[in-house]
Amino acid sequence: MAPRIGSLWDAVGNTPLLRIGSLSRLTGCEILGKAEFMNPGGSIKDRAAKGIIRRAEEQGLLKPGGTIVEGTAGNTGIGLGLLGRERGYRVVVTMPDNQAREKYEYLEAMGVEVRKVPAVPFANPGHFFHQARQLSEQHGWFWANQFENTANGDFHYETTGPEIWAQCEGRVDVVVVSVGSGGTMSGVSRYLKERNPDVRVVLVDPPGSGLYTQVKEGRLEGPGSSITEGIGIMRLTANFLASRVDDAMRLGDQEMVEMLYHLAREDALVVGTSAALNVRAAYELARQHAGKGLRIVTLLCDHGSRYASKVFNADFLASKQLQVRPLPVDGLPVR
């Protein structure tokens, strides 16, 4: 438990686990969301940032006055910026230039140096991941490397997994996780599986990501693309390789948007795109087991205010041929 008087550093973690009332009533299963948007930087990536900085300090890789550099879609940069700036470090982030403008503005407000790069495939040297590595090599900066740095997943093993287990009093049937760096999946799946091997771990993947086929068929293949930010990759990271995954689902942007608006309007939960995808997957699993009382846990990764200029903008949705419409309820009892 965080101290009564502390710092932003102390405030990371110990987030509430929320019962999503409308979906639990509809399905006869208990659908729970870990409110990671209540971390001080507004997302689950504060945990990755804290774990990475802590280990770097312990190993002498980060020293007073040092510089942290990272390639990020936004939230890890915000976590590193928040905690890094508080601890006196300079923070530089490379980001694809197609992210929600709120992320850039948040970072710049904290004094983080943002370097936008074109959104290109990972194989391209201009990819934000490679750009961060190159800056680290050129200047001797500490590269956070959230994808390959297992301090990320280990911090989730130390905090997120145990919090879920304790909050559920040891009764978790299914956990649903989307993957960006793989840190959350790594730490949560390892911890819960160690406590109970029967906990079912399900990965949810957007179009354009190869992890669905990796889990299902042992090969990376990801047709299409998605507006969902911060998740979906076409490679196997060190963090993801440590995960223990039982099954996978692929869901598209339309399914995500339907859940995004349902949560906002029916449960007053204004969440981001990855959270909406997570909850949609939890809902689909609950529909398959309607009325059986399964306890399904997922992550509410960040707050929807970070995406207001995109998914909560009617013109943007229309430009992507996406519609706000009710969730499908076929096969469910009337409640």
Given 45, 50, 103, 193, which residue is catalytic?
45
What's phi and psi for 143, nearest 5 deg? Answer: -90, 115
Q: Does the annotation mark 45 as catalytic?
A: yes
CB atoms under 10 Å from CB of 88, counted, come to 9
Q: How far, in Å, CA of 320 to CA of 316, rounded? A: 7
Helix (H) / strand (E) element for 113: namely strand 113-117
Q: Are 8 and 82 in contact (CB under 8 A)?
A: yes
Exposure class string for 121-143: b at 16+ Cβ within 10 A, else e: eeeeeebbbbbbbbbbeeeebbb
Look at strands 67-71 and 142-143 and give their pairing.
parallel
How buried is residue 217: exposed, middle or buried, by Cβ count under 10 Å (0-12/13-18/19+)?
exposed
CB 249 within 8 A of CB 284: yes
How far is it, in rounded angstroms, from Cα 251 to Cα 270? 20
Instruction: Write out the catalytic residue numbers.
Output: 45
